[in-house]
């Protein structure tokens, strides 16, 4: 249960980060607070969109789905349901793979790193690890 | 469990509030207003590409925010550089003509001038045109341009001082006045050896023009 709570909390933070980047991309926010990173350079590159949709929006959708699924998994009727854990792990694996792709683009193609993307990558990695570990543990059985 | 949901709501409220606050803060447009630190007549006539001994010179009046200029710079210009400029047949002169309808084109032109101060005008020119998404968003591009400057290895302290001091705003004004005097109305506009170029803005038309002028020279 603690793991799913952690996944929900992480997904919420990830959702906020992705929403921030998405709002910037669609022009609602004027400037990214990035410190020493190269957020705007990365966000202005052609890799910041996939099939005409901002990459950040995929993050918003992915984190929202993870959060919704995690919240559903916290309900007593789904707490012992292994399908929820499997779905979480599947979604987290997809998110993790996408994160690896984006990080590789930053490191090896753009040679610039966006600090918010790093935050998102760390969050997605943590969610992935927690969801995989959750799969390996037997769910608590209800009497 | 109740504590967890409270924590969740608190994070959502704080995060959502921060996003809302950020969206309410409109970016300050970096419009020049300070006294002009550089005289308009500083004898500067634009950055050039190519050999000084090239028989033909093309002067381009361009606006960094203009989509046609970006398209020309990214699609046609690489061919022109490779086949005409590098071959010593043509010299290219870039003049700023920021259109008043474009919110950040003067700012972009200033970024290019400030990069030029450190010997990286064309590199910044390429960055501004290649990553042209900034021109479509309407957002303040200050930190993006600073990222470009950092990526080009510019001394950021010098770059910031140049940008903040609007060091070349008079130079831009002089370029605009020069363009207006020559009859420039839109961008990109080209002059070949001082005469208006009326062909299409394609590498093929420039090649044909250079070929015909080279034959005349012979």
Domain boundary assignment for chain A: 2-136
How far is B142 from chain A, CA to nearest CA, in Å? 8
Q: How far apart are CA B19 and CA B104, in angstroms?
A: 25
pLDDT at A134: 84
Whether chain A has a CB inside 8 Å of the CB on B139: the answer is yes
Whether chain B has a CB inside 8 Å of the CB on A81: the answer is no
- Of the candidates A20, A25, A40, which has its C-beta nearest B144's C-beta? A40
Strand order in the sheet with B195-196: B47-49, B90-96, B56-62, B189-192, B195-196
Whether chain B has a CB inside 8 Å of the CB on A79: the answer is no
How far is A97 from chain B, CA to nearest CA, in Å? 26
What is each CA distance from B175 to A8, A48, A99, B212, in whole angstroms? Answer: 57, 35, 46, 29
Q: How far apart are CA B64 and CA B157, in angstroms?
A: 23
Residues 151-180 of B with CB under 8 A from A: 151
- Of the candidates B16, B139, B142, which has its C-beta nearest A27's C-beta? B139
Give the three-state DSSP class for B131.
coil
Q: What is the pLDDT of residues A69-112, one digit of tens each?
A: 999 988 888 877 888 889 999 999 999 999 999 999 888 887 77
At B209, give phi and psi (nearest 5°).
Answer: -65, -45
Whether chain B has a CB inside 8 Å of the CB on A109: the answer is no
- Of the candidates B18, B25, B144, which has its C-beta nearest A44's C-beta? B144
pLDDT at B108: 96
Q: Answer whether CATH 2.60.40.60 is correct for domain A2-136.
A: no
**Which residues, 6+ apart, have CB-to-CB distance to A122 below 8 Å?**
none
Domains, chain B, with CATH or none: 55-212 (3.40.30.10)
Q: What is the pLDDT of residues B173-218, one digit of tens each?
A: 999 999 999 989 889 999 988 888 877 888 888 888 888 777 655 5
Q: How far apart are CA B189 and CA B198, in angstroms?
A: 9
Chain A residues close to B138, C-beta within 8 Å: 27
Residue contact B22–A29, C-beta within 8 A: yes
Kindly tell me the burial class for residue B98, based on how many C-beta atoms sit within 10 Å of its own C-beta (0-12, 13-18, 19 or more).
buried
Whether chain B has a CB inside 8 Å of the CB on A34: the answer is yes
Q: Which of A8, A12, A34, A27 minimizes the C-alpha distance to A118?
A: A34
When pLDDT is cut at 50, 70 and 90, the band that residue B78 belongs to is very high
């Amino acid at each position: 249960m603690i793991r799913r709570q952690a996944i929900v909390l992480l997904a919420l933070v990830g959702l906020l980060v992705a929403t921030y980047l998405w709002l910037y991309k669609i022009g609602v926010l004027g400037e990214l607070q990035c410190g020493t990173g190269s957020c705007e350079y990365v966000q202005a590159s052609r890799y910041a969109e996939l099939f005409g949709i901002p990459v950040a929006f995929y993050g918003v959708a992915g984190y929202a789905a993870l959060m919704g699924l995690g919240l559903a998994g916290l309900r007593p009727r789904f707490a012992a349901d292994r399908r929820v854990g499997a779905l979480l792990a599947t979604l987290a694996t997809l998110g993790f793979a996408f994160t690896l792709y984006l990080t590789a683009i930053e490191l090896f193609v753009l040679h610039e790193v966006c600090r918010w993307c790093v935050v998102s990558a760390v969050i997605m990695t943590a969610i992935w690890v927690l969801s995989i570990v959750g799969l390996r543990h037997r769910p608590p059985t209800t009497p | 469990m109740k504590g967890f949901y409270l924590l969740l709501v608190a994070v959502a409220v704080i995060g959502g509030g921060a996003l809302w606050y950020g969206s309410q803060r409109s970016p300050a447009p970096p419009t020049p207003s300070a006294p002009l630190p550089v005289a308009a007549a500083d004898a500067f006539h634009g950055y050039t590409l190519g050999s000084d001994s090239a028989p033909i010179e093309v002067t381009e009046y361009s606006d960094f925010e203009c989509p046609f200029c970006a398209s020309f710079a990214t699609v046609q210009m690489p061919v022109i550089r490779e086949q005409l400029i590098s071959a010593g047949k043509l010299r290219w002169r870039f003049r700023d003509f920021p259109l008043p309808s474009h919110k950040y084109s003067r700012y972009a032109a200033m970024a290019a001038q400030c990069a030029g101060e450190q010997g990286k005008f064309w590199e910044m020119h390429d960055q501004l045109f290649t990553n042209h998404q900034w021109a479509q968003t309407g957002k303040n591009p200050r930190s993006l341009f600073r990222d470009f400057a950092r990526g080009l290895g510019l001394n950021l302290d010098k770059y910031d001082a140049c940008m903040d001091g609007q060091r070349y705003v008079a130079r831009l004004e002089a370029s605009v006045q020069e363009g207006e005097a020559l009859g420039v109305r839109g961008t990109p506009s080209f002059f070949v050896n001082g005469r208006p170029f009326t062909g299409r803005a394609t590498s093929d038309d420039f090649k044909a023009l250079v070929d015909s002028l080279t034959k005349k020279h012979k």
